Chain A
Amino acid sequence: MSKTLVCDGNEAAAWGVALARPDMVAVYPITPQSSLAEYISQFVADGIIKADLMDVEGEHSVLSVLQGACLAGARTFTATCGQGLAFMFEPYYRTPPLRLPIVMSIVTRDGITPQSVWGGQQDAMTVREAGWIHMYCENAQEVLDTVVMAYKIAEHRDVMIPVNVNHDGNYLSYGVEKLELPDQEEVDAFLGRKDTNWHAALDPERPMAVDPLTGGAGGAGPALFVRYRKGLCKGMQNALKVIPEVHEEWAKRFGRSYAPLVEEYRLEDADYAVVTIGGMTGAGKDAVDLAREAGQRVGLIKVKTFRPFPLEALRKSLSKVRAVGVVDRSVSFGWNSGPVYQELLSALYGLSQRIPAISFIGGLAGADITIEHFSRVIETTAKAFKGEVAEGPIWLNE
């Protein structure tokens, strides 16, 4: 029997980890992830999680320890954000090409300068090209469910790529919701046998070098390097198939379904749409409902999976509307826009019809993106639909 819980997003993530029965967890606290590290530690102390807990001296060691554990056959978990993620970057970049199915929550945080301990997606967005799968959650229940699903996705033999399950710092990390805790036996049956190192088991009887120096100007090195690069790209494309399959199986078994790649909300007869990612989506949907009551034909497109980029799914959704307003909770400095907006333009390129798209940036450094903000996004996008296209980016919290 499943149980009902009242908890915040960080505790929800910890329950997801507990259900996945990891062998080793390593954590280093950083706001707003700290309480997640504390829940994990408490669960280990209470015997809810029967895993080795590594208290290490920093995030660089956190992920390095987990790489070794994963190569030895362990199912692993950690969580970080902001500066912690920055400090972790070297092993972070190494994990996907090693094809180690580690799961890590990023409790997204803005910064690093000006200094901020509050929510924003700048940290996760900054590392979007490091080869990890990135999924953004909308509420605490989705956090719990996605953490469990992440193991099945990461460990799938056609994927073998680490997964970041991202939830918004402050709003999702500390916001308390009522949610359902799935039954352990059901989760065991869902996840199946754990096998994290079938491709590269560390074994004293079979000595080997993991990640040997590869490349150079001659010999087999450069071609070998290309082979591994292509392998990771292929794994990412495979994930675009596996992520929906895993979500579908979850829905069948547990009765909760989520759009695995891109969600469409009231889009069927919409003239235009707002595009969201992460926890802001709730306010976006409320604003769409209000605008609908007022007779506006507006819908919403939510991006859940940002890596691999859901090109076809997004293109299909975009083909239904004639203008979009994209709300980012981070900044692409080089493009003077948000990263979701910037990448959405690539999806638009494949459409037969050119439609206007406007970049909005909001919710930086803990700012709330309210229904009023979304109403403004909807109004501005409605004008673009009628031909009056505002120049972006439009900063919502100025």
Chain B
Amino acid sequence: MRRQARKAFDESRIPNDLCPIATELTVLRTGDWRAERPVVDRDKCVKCATCWTYCPTQCIVEKETWFEAGLEICKGCGICAQECPHHAITMIEEVEE
């Protein structure tokens, strides 16, 4: 494969109805879909990163001594709670505030 010549990519000159691309995640907040939220028991979490590995939206963020879901993106699928080997994650129903 020949190497592509480096060229300036000037987005302002590209029609905005061509190939759908996203350079930042602003289109969709999958967190809006959530019916249940994952809540982490920080005493049980050992930072094994199993939740981080399995999360289909890749929304798990690392904290000092635990992992937790980024709630803007977390769609509440519950896979992290299912997979957590230390049963540190509980799915709690979302209720209107």
Complexed CA–CA distance, A23 and B25 (Å)? 32
Contact with A along B17-37 (1 / 0, CB 8 A): 111111101011110100000
Is A230 a contact of B17 with CB atoms below 8 Å?
Answer: yes
Q: Is the CB of A212 within 8 A of B20?
A: yes
A231 x B15 contact (CB < 8 A) = yes
Number of interface residues of A (CB under 8 A): 37
- CB of B63 within 8 Å of the partner chain: no
Interface locus among B1-9, B38-46, B77-85, B88-96: B1-9
Q: Which of A6-14, A97-105, A176-184, A384-392 interfaces with chain B?
A: A97-105
Q: In the complex the two chains form, is A99's CB within 8 Å of B19's CB?
A: yes
In A195-210, which residues have CB < 8 Å from any B CB? 198-201, 203, 206-210
Nearest Cβ on chain A to B27's Cβ, whole angstroms: 6
Main secondary structure of the interface of A (DSSP, over half): loop
- Cα of A208 to Cα of B22 in the assembled complex, Å: 5
CA distance A199 to B11 in the complex (A): 8
A182 and B64 alpha carbons, distance in the complex (Å): 68
Q: Which of A220-228, A262-270, A349-357, A370-378 contacts B (4 or more CB under 8 A)?
A: A220-228
Residue from B9, B19, B27, B30 in contact with A220 in the complex, judged by beta carbons closer than 8 Å: B27
CB within 8 Å for A160 and B18 given contacts A24-B1, A72-B4, A206-B9: yes
Q: Which residues of A contact B20 (CB under 8 A)?
A: 97-98, 210-212, 214, 224, 228
Indicate which residue in A23, A208, A227 contacts B16 across the interface (CB closer than 8 Å): A227
User: B21 near A209 (CB under 8 angstroms)?
Assistant: yes
| Centre residue among A23, A72, A198, A230 by max chain B CB count within 10 A | A198
A23 touches B2 (CB 8 A): yes
Known A-B contacts A212-B27, A214-B28, A224-B27; A23 and B17 likewise in contact (beta carbons under 8 Å): no
Residue of A24, A200, A206, A219 near B18 (CB, 8 A) is A200
Given A23-B2, A221-B27, does the pair A228, B17 have CB atoms closer than 8 Å?
yes
Within 8 A of B (CB), among A89-120: 97-100
Residues of A within 8 A of B32 (CB): 218
State how many angstroms separate the Cβ of B43 from the closest Cβ of chain A.
36
Closest to B14 in A: A199
A98–B21 CA distance with the chains assembled, in angstroms: 9
Instruction: Give Cα A8 to B51, complex, Å.
Output: 58
Do A213 and B28 touch across chains, with their CB atoms under 8 A apart? Answer: yes
Given contacts A23-B1, A23-B2, contact A213 B17 (CB under 8 A): no
A207 closest partner in B (C-beta): B23
A234 within 8 A of B: yes
Q: Are A201 and B4 in contact (CB under 8 A)?
A: yes
Q: How far is the CB of A227 from chain B (nearest CB, A)?
A: 5
Determine which of A201, A216, A231 lies in contact with B17 in the assembled complex, contact meaning CB atoms within 8 Å.
A231
Q: Which residues of B contact A200 (CB under 8 A)?
A: 18-19, 21
Chain A contacts of B29 at CB under 8 A?
A: 219
B9 touches A99 (CB 8 A): no
Q: Is A129 an interface residue (CB 8 A)?
A: no
Interface of B toward A, CB cutoff 8 Å: 1-2, 4, 7, 9, 14-23, 25, 27-30, 32
Given A212-B22, A220-B27, 16 more contacts at CB 8 Å?
A74-B1, A98-B20, A199-B15, A199-B18, A206-B23, A209-B23, A211-B20, A212-B21, A212-B25, A214-B27, A218-B32, A221-B27, A224-B20, A224-B27, A227-B17, A228-B17
10 A-B residue contacts at CB 8 Å? A72-B1, A98-B19, A200-B18, A201-B4, A201-B9, A208-B22, A210-B19, A213-B27, A221-B28, A227-B16
